[in-house]
A and B are shown apart, each in its own frame.
Chain A
């Protein structure tokens, strides 16, 4: 490059930079989504440790986006999914969320499976006043005005489950979970319910994440002879636990594992034979018979393969995109910002695969808890279906604290 050319191009860059500055400034704020299409972020890990589950959430959300686009979009505008792969690393989640919210001007970001990644994104979405749609069941005790919680909180998974388990199997509970915040908070709430219904905890035990040899746990279970194994073991640990429990020939009809975390994904790896007879509590099972679910399962299978499964988190990842659509349809197309979307979403009802769900003013979701028993074919038979939709109480275990439409209120 000659010196003159170099100076010339430098000048051009300089001028372009000057010219673009006002444009950059004006694009912030109100005019967030006034292009022809609506940018939305997808922040699910496609690589790394949690990719196994998160890639299915990504698939479900992307399918919903493409279905919406195929049927004409929202107010005639297409959704433009911007896909980022945070590679299972919480710090990368925060970084990519920032990129989606600032550079790509997304009016909403759908993402995360683990609490660790949600908590990494939390300060970003709050600072940018954006909206983060989180589809996973989680431990509660959070009340952000910038996160839409699509999964169950402890009261929605346990209120029906605990009295049912005490009545059918007995009052002595053995708690086994991985050693992090989710199992501890769930067990915390379970203990308040056990007190109320006259149950007792015979042992409360936490194993490290990724723990794979459960022989001592099984020996302890054998000697304690509890009535119910209350499990909050996640992922591969749960697979190993279930397989070794089965190999030890502990009888599910006498000592069933009642899990809050075991879904169709885990059962596929555990094998139907080892999973059969045990229970899970969740708002959604793949075998749930509603027209919405049949359509969802069929679309998912024909798109991603006949051996794929849908589960309680991928269902939420799917219906949250439709909740987003319904909120946008209520809005004036010239006034689409994360905050107006949030305000429009509160009180929305939607026919999700699990039943009609409602967004509470605390931004959590009213759901339909179910108790399913696993069968040898890897599917759950829904035994108990709650008669009414259950409201989310993210602070149920903490008296005097309530999550409301104005944030956390302490009495």
Chain B
């Protein structure tokens, strides 16, 4: 019983990390139909920005979060302005373009910072465990869970309760008509892409104390994030949240029942089955394209 409780927590912790990474991807896809293969590299940039702030400016992870968000969002904004914006009418080409950008970012970090794994110190404030009976929860993982839920809530508010969100939803529904009403679709797209990139940067910052910070770290993470977005339904916030919990918990349960290697296979097989019967994911968004 203890094992199952602890494992459920491990699954939730995995889910929170998945959600942080997948959220940005889901927003960018949902709003613009761009499959952003450079997303993993935005996560990596976030991790390296955290490392740089800690090493050169002495800023810990938590105070660094706003800076990381802004700097990675800025990179996303530039990428959108320079490359992605010219490709909105060629959605397939954006896959190739963003993949190329990903490779460029990865190699730039490798050349500029070096290929070796970097050390980022976790916040002292959140070291240690919280124990409730047999359930032992790492404080830092608890924080990541709460933080990811807060980000989900903030994103939902942004989409549904602000003027920007209303304009964004209008553009998603019909770009041409929205432009007729004076909405600057180009600007909306740029900001959305930057926001998605910034979220990826935050995810990168948060995982540095747990994972290894290397130039290729984004590649593996983005695969999981894509699984979340596909299972959740492309572009759906609630779908992404549900799917990351589902995948996180399934991974945790399978890995305790079988083992990590076979567990991974079982999860992937489960996703294939799900896609077979629900090709548009758990919560498909009803949009006109």
Contact = CB atoms under 8 A, between A and B. Distances in A.
B260 A208 contact: yes
A271 B6 contact: no
Interface of B: 2-3, 6-7, 10, 13-14, 17, 110, 115-119, 121-122, 127-129, 136, 138, 140-141, 209-214, 216-217, 220, 251-252, 255-256, 259-261, 263-264
Given A52-B115, A236-B117, A265-B116, A211 B3 contact: no
Given A205-B259, A269-B119, A215 B10 contact: yes
Contacts of B220: 210, 212
A343 interface: no
Interface of A: 47, 49, 51-52, 55, 179, 205-208, 210-213, 215-220, 222-223, 235-237, 239-240, 243-244, 247-249, 265-266, 268-271, 273
Given A52-B117, A244-B210, A248-B138, 6 more contacts: A52-B115, A236-B211, A236-B214, A247-B141, A247-B210, A249-B138
Contacts of A240: 210-212
B210 A211 contact: no
7 contacts: A49-B216, A208-B264, A213-B210, A219-B7, A223-B2, A247-B138, A248-B136
A137 B281 CA distance: 47
B121 A215 contact: no
Given A208-B261, A208-B264, A217-B260, A51 B122 contact: no
Nearest to A179: B261
- The dominant DSSP class at the A interface is helix
A215 B14 contact: yes
B210 A243 contact: yes
Contacts, number: 103
A213 B248 CA distance: 11
A396 B224 CA distance: 41
Contact of B252 (A205, A207, A215, A222): A215
Contacts of B128: 249
Q: Which of B116, B122, B220, B263 has the most CB of A within 10 A?
A: B116
Given A212-B220, A249-B129, A52 B116 contact: yes
B256 A216 contact: yes
A270 B119 contact: yes
Q: Which of A206, A247, A266 has the most CB of B within 10 A?
A: A247
Contacts of B136: 222, 248
Q: Which of A206, A237, A269 has the most CB of B within 10 A?
A: A269
B268 to A, nearest CB: 12
Contacts of B261: 179, 206-208
B211 A212 contact: yes
B218 to A, nearest CB: 12
